[in-house]
Amino acid sequence: MIIVPERDVAGLITPAECFEAVESVFASMASKAAYNFPVIREAIGHADALYGFKSGFDRQSLALGLKSGGFWPGNMAKGLTNHQSTVFLFDADTGRCKAVIGGNLLTALRTAAASSISIKHLARKDAKVIGMIGAGHQSTFQLRSALAQRAFEKVIGWNIEPEALTKLKDVAAEKGLLFEAVDLDRMGAEADVIITITSSFDPILKAAQVRPGVHLACMGTDTKGKQEVEAELVAKATVFTDEIAQSITIGECQHAIAAGLIKQDAIVELGAVINGDHPGRTSDEEITLFDGTGVGLQDLAVASKVAERASASGQGTDVDF
Ligand code: NAD
């Protein structure tokens, strides 16, 4: 069994490799070669923490395992990131534990990969302005990855605490792009692509605020009760997701489903677009929305790459377990 601590993960995988791994496992999910097991996520009644497991099996790559972890809101004050997670990989032929890998950076990279894959396949080709709603830990990973998908010319951003937007301005500057803090009306009126990545429990962006042709990647809602966009906006869009079961229970679609505004069979797995089984966007006026709930198979896909590279290069700690 190989152990790769969090501090070594960055040297063992690139964002581009995470993108490839996640795109490939989304395709496997849509072709039913890979499936996620039901998510466990519990408020443990200590440290205000949410703790749980995301797990699954990919019969194509033989990735089997789980990510265990969650959200500790008091961590920032201790100099730690609020999200803490570890990935465990098992040998699909024997059930023996193969690897234990720090999951914090991998979570940020696989989540950024997911929204970027949605932009690659669903955003208008001529998208010029990208809008960011949210400026927390995940947001810079999201923006960096998204900027590689289209010839964006400008970044606009909104955050409930506007002072946090400077980190997005810095990412835009890395690419020589203009950044402007905007209100939500301007966000909806100007952005061709909008990523939402907040921990909000109330709708932030309204249906009346967005313009035709926009692509939305709703990435923050990963728990029952969270919400980033009005349910009417989900109803107005052609909706894609990583996994339908998660989308309607813990994802952004949970509210539109509960209100009877959309039906489960109208939601398309992004993997079907990757596989060429669904056309994706069909007009320049269509609003597309990706409900990125975060699936265990994403974690297993990227962690498997790290484990392979660590074994091949003699990095990590090999333990006879
Ligand atoms: P963070 O705590 O670093 O940042 C939270 C962000 O949400 C900040 O911009 C904050 O200002 C904003 N926010 C908080 N309360 C708000 C409110 N009531 N209204 C509007 N904005 C509010 O968290 P993070 O690590 O950046 O994660 C952001 C969200 O993404 C979380 O909800 C997290 O659970 C989720 N997440 C999803 C996935 C996935 O795969 N879909 C993966 C990782 C994280």
pLDDT at residue number 81: 87
Cβ neighbours of 13 (radius 10 Å): 24
Residues 156, 101, single domain; the answer is: no
Instruction: Give the atom of ligand 1 at the shortest distance from the alpha carbon of 111.
Output: 40
Which band of pLDDT confidence, cut at 50, 70 and 90, is reported for residue 231? very high
Whether 117 is covered by a domain: the verdict is no
Determine which residue's CA is closest to atom 35 belonging to ligand 1: 220
Residues 88, 190, single domain; the answer is: no
Determine which residue's CA is closest to atom 38 belonging to ligand 1: 294
Report the C-alpha gap between 198 and 37 in whole angstroms: 25
Q: What is the CATH number of the domain that holds 131?
A: 3.40.50.720
Whether 113 is covered by a domain: the verdict is no
In this structure, are residues 167 and 157 in contact, taking their beta carbons and an 8 Å threshold? no
In this structure, are residues 233 and 212 in contact, taking their beta carbons and an 8 Å threshold? no
pLDDT at residue number 15: 97
Asked whether residue 131 carries a pLDDT value surpassing 90, the answer given is yes
Please tell me if the CB atom of residue 241 comes closer than 6 angstroms to any atom of ligand 1.
no
The total number of structural domains in the chain stands at 2
Residues 266, 302, single domain; the answer is: no
Residues 45, 26, single domain; the answer is: yes
Residues 307, 290, single domain; the answer is: no
Burial of residue 192 (number of CB atoms within 10 Å: 0-12, 13-18, 19+): buried
Q: Which domain holds residue 142?
A: 124-294
Whether 27 is covered by a domain: the verdict is yes
Residues 146, 249, single domain; the answer is: yes
> What's the whole-number mean pLDDT along residues 205-217?
98
Residues 64, 164, single domain; the answer is: no
Cβ neighbours of 95 (radius 10 Å): 9
Active site residue 67: yes
**Per-residue pLDDT tens over the stretch 35-68:** 999 999 899 999 999 999 999 999 999 999 999 9
Our mutation pick for probing the ligand 1 site, out of 138, 161, 253, counting the most ligand atoms within 8 A of Cβ, is 138
Determine which residue's CA is closest to atom 36 belonging to ligand 1: 220
Residues 136, 227, single domain; the answer is: yes
Residues 307, 183, single domain; the answer is: no
Residues 145, 248, single domain; the answer is: yes
In this structure, are residues 227 and 259 in contact, taking their beta carbons and an 8 Å threshold? no
Whether 112 is covered by a domain: the verdict is no
Asked whether residue 12 carries a pLDDT value surpassing 90, the answer given is yes
Residues 278, 307, single domain; the answer is: no
Q: What is the CATH number of the domain that holds 9?
A: 3.30.1780.10
pLDDT at residue number 47: 96
Q: Which residues contact 38 (CB under 8 A, 6 or more apart)?
A: 245
Our mutation pick for probing the ligand 1 site, out of 109, 199, 219, counting the most ligand atoms within 8 A of Cβ, is 199
Residues 152, 252, single domain; the answer is: yes
